[in-house]
Structures are given as structure tokens and as C-alpha cells.
Chains A and B, each alone.
Chain A
């Protein structure tokens, strides 16, 4: 049976960074630890299906003393036993940095935005927490889906350790790991293979298009909101008119009711757009950035190899020093990196197609849903008006 990651959100008592007692090494995986074994097998061979399960009693997070932070829980179910760990966004961030450092040749999926402006976004609102949770769920799913990343010991620690010993300093740093890697600097790449050039161009254009779509979607949201305001006022006029009519009262109230229903349906559509559609777009922009970083790293590795090779060749020409082993190791590195990258690229493209197919069909479905709701309301009104018409006709013939 498949492995289930179920992010859910529950309040937690304060857990300051100072209270981490267990050390990382103590929680290191022991072979006898059965969940780890079964997880490993599943992650590689089976389809990892991840469900986003929101507990019905989703409570907003409590503010504790002077510290306020959102808490998120990953609940991981195996065959037996049930297992759950509590993780914060910080922990996900730690995991990502660790993965990037330990697997520099691979594409690590993105996390949702780390920093949100206080006062602009409510970090404790249900909507924000839900959106973030879905993104974190996706992150884990993608990592678990990856044939190499899923075996990473840091992932294992993340999933099983009671408390992560993150070595405080590291958790607070953003991209330190990445910048450390680029100390290699000073080497300029000579001949980037065409396929990697093509990847770079694709990513640039794709990112640009996603940005445009994001802006259009935001504009639509604004226009829909203005439309909603006017529509509400429009419905109100029918209601007020109904108050001064006798025979026409029910029909006019009926129209007002239809307009109100349409307003509700429109609100749902707009909410969905901002909660489900836009976040995915933005996440892919981050994903593209990650991919571009990996391409840059690859360039660096190739540049380093080219630089060393050139230096070694020159030396050989001068005093017949043989080409050092390091240079051959560099060549291996380049070839490995290229192979890993190509494999990741294919996988990423596949996932991208799937994700966007889902996204765009979802958008179409929600729109259809909106129109269906409106249509149903108006059709029921027509029935009501037709009934009234026959009512009026019979009462007229009775009078005459």
C-alpha cells in the first residue's frame, strides 16, 4: 500500500530553538528501524501517493508569549505503525539546503516563498496556512518521487527524527550553502553544449510567459472584484423595487435572488483563482530559478574542468608533467553532472506537463462550474416566472 504524506496543521506549544535536546547523531537511522526500510522500498518502486488531508478541526495557530510562529505537521502513515512528526517551515528550509548541498548535481524542488511581509499577509489566516501546506506537500512529494533524492539521509532524518538538530546557525542562513559552492569562481566556460544552451533559453522564455500569465490573472481578479461590487448593487435595486410592488414582488425578489447566487458563485471562482491557480504559477517560477541555478553550477563545473585541463596541457607541453588525476576527476564530474542534469530535466519536463495540464483543466473546470451555478439559478427563476404566468392567467379568467 502506498506511502502517505499528510500535512496537517495543528497548534503546538511553544518550541523555542533552545529546547532541542536530542542530538542529530542519536537519531541516526538504525537498520532495525522498520519504517525506514519500508519507506525506502516504496519510494523507489511504488507510486508514492500523497494526500493532502485537512483535519476538520483545523485550528489557527496560537500565539505563545512573545514568540509567534506557524506550526505544520507532517503525518506519515505506513502499513504499521502510524507515525507522525511535527515540522515547521524552517525545517523544510533546512532540508532543502541540505539536499542542495549534498546533491549539487540534481534539481531540488522549490519551497513556497519564505518571507512574507508582516502586515500585508496574515501568516496565521486559514487561507495562507492552507496554501503553504499544499506547496510543502508538493515539495515532499517531488523529493520522494526522485530516484536519488529519496534516498538522501537528510530526508530520512526529516521524516523520522523527533526533533531536528539543525545546528541553529544553519537554520537561519538562507543560501549560504549555495554561495560556498561557488568559490570555484574565476573560471569562464568556453563551449557550453547546445542542449544546455537550449535549456537555458527555454527556461528564460517559460519564466517570462508564466510572469505574464500571473499578471493577467491578477488583473482578472481585480476586474472580477469590481464587477462583483456593481453586481451586488444591481441586485439590491431589484429588491428595493420589489418592496413597492404587489403582483411583481415575487418575480423581482426572484431576480434579486438569482443575482445574489451569481455573486456567491463568482466569489468562489475568484477565491479559487487566488488560492489554487496563482500559487502554482509562482511555485513554477521558483522551480525555474532552481533549475537555472543547477545549470549555472553545471557550467561552473565544466568551466573548472576546462580551466584545469588547459593549465595541465600547457604544463605538459613545458615540462612533460603528466596530466594530474584531479583533471580526470573533473572530467568525470562534468560527465556525471551532465547525465544527472539531463535525467532530471526529462523528469522535470514530464512533471511540468502533468502539473500544467492539471492546472489548466482545473481552471477550466472551475469556470464551467461557475457558469453552471449561474445557469441553474436563472433556470429555476424562469420556472418560477412561468408558474406565476399560469397563475395570473387562471385568476384572470376566473375574474372574467
Chain B
């Protein structure tokens, strides 16, 4: 049944995201080779700074990312032709994702890396132009493309294909689909949550799970930030040993060399924390991916609730219209709607 297969897509989408960054897949669901990643190599190779005029004719600086693609059978034959490539901004990735969310409301669409640096510990630059941030974003964007291009349904989307291959005119193509008009009003979705009469058990479970996952990953990210902050302080204070050992070595004869060297080691120790914490950011990025994934899952649940609510309303409407027709035909007027009609509702919805 239609609804069951949608559930399966939702379920398999949640399970199917097990791939290694080199794009190889280990999920047998995709063995039929239907996904784009099987036919095409994709990577986000580089990032560059650009400046230009934005929509309101103001000068701005932004980063563009190089998206490279190459058909897989080309390399399989031993040739290695240069890849096709085009430059994309973060906002274009966002546009692609927003399109996919609306076009495939029943699919948990993979998340993008964060728009702005959140969960920063105070020494980390929250600047979007920071090279470390840009590099991590590049990895996140690549990951996004891998996940989308290996999805059995999403990967066949034309807009996705053109995103990867058609540098100019792609935006216009997306707008022409008219997807923005189909976006749900947030308020309607919210009210639907409270008014659905017979909520789907599995969806309720999924909702609770996604709330839990969101809460735990957010907690973890905040706690990690605080730990990073404190650890940084511990290492940096050790740097003070460097100076005092050096000063002390000046008044010593036999001990002088040893103390001097100890001082240098303390300095090295104090600076080592910068790289350590930068590496840990990659771990935090992976946690963030699942924080956002939980949000995407929640969004699907919400859409389902909305659809169900609309279905229930439509069924009620149908029942009342049938009743009216009966009244008109038989001339008998029912003033009350009796409770039996509500009992019929689950059957009507199936």
C-alpha cells in the first residue's frame, strides 16, 4: 500500500546512510545500482574566496566550492579524463536541499553543514571565513552530496543532476518547478500536531526518538564545548612554566641546559592544544550532522501528521456530505452527528 511503501522509504533512508567518505557503499539495499553515486564520482574539491555584488547591489565576500564530477565507467576503462566541474555557493546547496525537502516530503533529507558556527568554545573563530571552518564545511558539503547521490529516490532527481552539471541557469530551473508554493505553513503543521485523532503508532515513536536524539546530541555538543574551553586553559597555563624555567636557567650552571630545554618543552606542550582541539571539531561536526538529521526526521513526522490531519478532515467532510445527500434524498433531517461516524473514521482513513 502507498503508505506502507512510504514508511519503508523513511525507514530505509534512516538505515541506508552507512557509507565511507570515499563513496563506496556497504548497504545491500542499493545493490541494484539505481543511485547516482554508482554511475558518477562526485567530490567537493576546493574552496575559494570571491567577491561580488549581491541582490541589493552591495559588495560582499563569499566562499565558493568546486564540485567535480566524473562518470565512473570512464575510469573503469583505464582512462582518467579530467572531471567536469563547477562552482557552487553554500546558498545554492541550501536551495537544492529546500527543493528536495518539499519535493520529497516523505524522505529524511540529509542535512547540510551548519550555516553559522554554533557551539563554539571561545577561542575558536566563529568567523565563516576562517580557513579551518571553510575546510570543515567543504567536507560537510561533500558528505551531503554523497548521501543524497546514494539515496535510491533522491539520487534520480533531475534538479540534483543539473546541480552537479549545469553551472548557469540552474537556479532558474529550480524556481520554475514552483516548489516554493508547495511549502507548508508552519502554523498549520503545528496545529495539526494537536488535532490528529488517531496518531500512527510508529510515527509517534519516531517523533519521540528524534526529540531524544536532538536533545542528547545538543547536550553533548554543549558539554564538549565547555570541556574544550577548560582543557585549553590547562594547556595554556603550562606555557607560563616555559618562561620561568628559562629565567631560572640563567642563574644556574650545571642545571642551566636542562631547565632551558624543559622550558622549551613546556612551550611546545602549551601550543599543542590548538591542533588537538581543531581535530576534535571534526568529531563535533559529525555529532552536528546527526543533530540536524534528527531535525529532518522530525520534519518528516510533522508532514505526516499534517497529511493525516488533512485526510481525517477530508474523511469527516465526506461523511457529512454523504449524510446531506441522504437527507436531501429521503427528506429526513438529522440534527446531530452521532458518535458512530467517528468510529468509522479509522476505516475511512486506511
Binding site for B on A (CB under 8 A): 202, 205-206, 209, 212-213, 216, 219-220, 223-224, 226-227, 230-231, 233-234, 237-238, 240-241, 244, 353, 356-357, 360, 400
Contact = CB atoms under 8 A, between A and B. Distances in A.
B278 to A, nearest CB: 18
Given A209-B247, A400-B28, A241 B234 contact: no
Given A209-B248, A216-B244, A220-B237, A240 B230 contact: no
Contacts of B209: 244
Nearest to A228: B230
Given A227-B231, A241-B216, A216 B241 contact: yes
B219 interface: yes
Contacts of A205: 251
Contacts of B262: 360
B346 interface: no
B220 A212 contact: no
Interface stretch (B55-63, B85-93, B221-229, B318-326): B221-229
A311 to B, nearest CB: 39
B216 A216 contact: no
24 contacts: A206-B248, A206-B251, A209-B244, A212-B240, A212-B244, A216-B240, A219-B240, A220-B237, A220-B238, A223-B230, A227-B231, A227-B233, A230-B223, A230-B227, A234-B224, A234-B227, A237-B219, A237-B220, A240-B216, A241-B219, A241-B220, A353-B254, A356-B255, A357-B255
A288 to B, nearest CB: 12
Nearest to A233: B223
Contacts of A353: 254-255
A230 B237 contact: no
Contacts of B216: 237, 240-241, 244
Interface of B: 28, 209, 212, 216, 219-220, 223-224, 226-227, 229-231, 233-234, 237-238, 240-241, 244, 247-248, 251, 254-255, 258, 262
Nearest to A242: B216
Contact of B234 (A220, A237, A357): A220
A241 B244 CA distance: 45
A149 B8 CA distance: 90
A159 B238 CA distance: 43
A186 B223 CA distance: 66
Contacts of B254: 353
Contacts of B238: 220
A40 B346 CA distance: 103
Contacts of B237: 216, 219-220, 223
Contact of A244 (B212, B223, B234): B212
Given A209-B251, A212-B244, A216-B237, 10 more contacts: A213-B244, A216-B240, A219-B237, A219-B240, A227-B233, A230-B227, A234-B224, A240-B216, A241-B219, A244-B216
A216 B224 CA distance: 26
A85 B247 CA distance: 45
Given A209-B248, A400-B28, A226 B227 contact: no
A365 B240 CA distance: 20
Contacts of B220: 234, 237-238, 241
Contact of A227 (B224, B227, B255): B227
A42 B235 CA distance: 47
Nearest to A212: B244
A389 B199 CA distance: 36
Which of B216, B238, B255 gathers most chain A CB within 10 Å? Answer: B216
B14 to A, nearest CB: 12
Contacts of A226: 230, 233
Given A216-B237, A219-B237, A220-B237, A202 B223 contact: no
A206 B219 CA distance: 48
B207 to A, nearest CB: 14
Nearest to B223: A234
Given A212-B244, A216-B240, A223-B237, A237 B223 contact: yes
Interchain residue pairs A-B with the least CB separation, the first 5: A227-B230, A241-B216, A234-B223, A209-B248, A230-B226
Contacts of A220: 234, 237-238
Nearest to A229: B230
A87 to B, nearest CB: 34
A226 B232 CA distance: 11
Contacts of A231: 227, 230
Interface centre among A202, A227, A357 (most CB of B within 10 A): A227
- B212, B234, B244, B258: which has the most chain A beta carbons within 10 Å? B234
A223 B236 CA distance: 10
Contacts of B219: 237, 240-241
A240 B215 CA distance: 11
A19 B231 CA distance: 56
A212 B240 CA distance: 9
A223 B216 CA distance: 27
A363 B166 CA distance: 62
Contacts of B231: 227
Given A237-B223, A241-B220, A353-B255, A230 B230 contact: yes
Contacts of B240: 212, 216, 219
Contacts of B226: 230, 233-234
Nearest to B27: A396
A196 to B, nearest CB: 16
A227 B238 CA distance: 14
Contacts of B28: 400
Contacts of A213: 241, 244
A160 B20 CA distance: 77
Interface-centre pick from A213, A219, A234 (highest chain B CB count, 10 A): A234
A224 B251 CA distance: 31
A145 B241 CA distance: 32
A154 to B, nearest CB: 34
A400 B248 CA distance: 69
A235 B191 CA distance: 38
Contacts of B223: 230, 233-234, 237
Contacts of A238: 220
A360 B231 CA distance: 22
Contacts of A206: 248, 251
Nearest to A201: B251
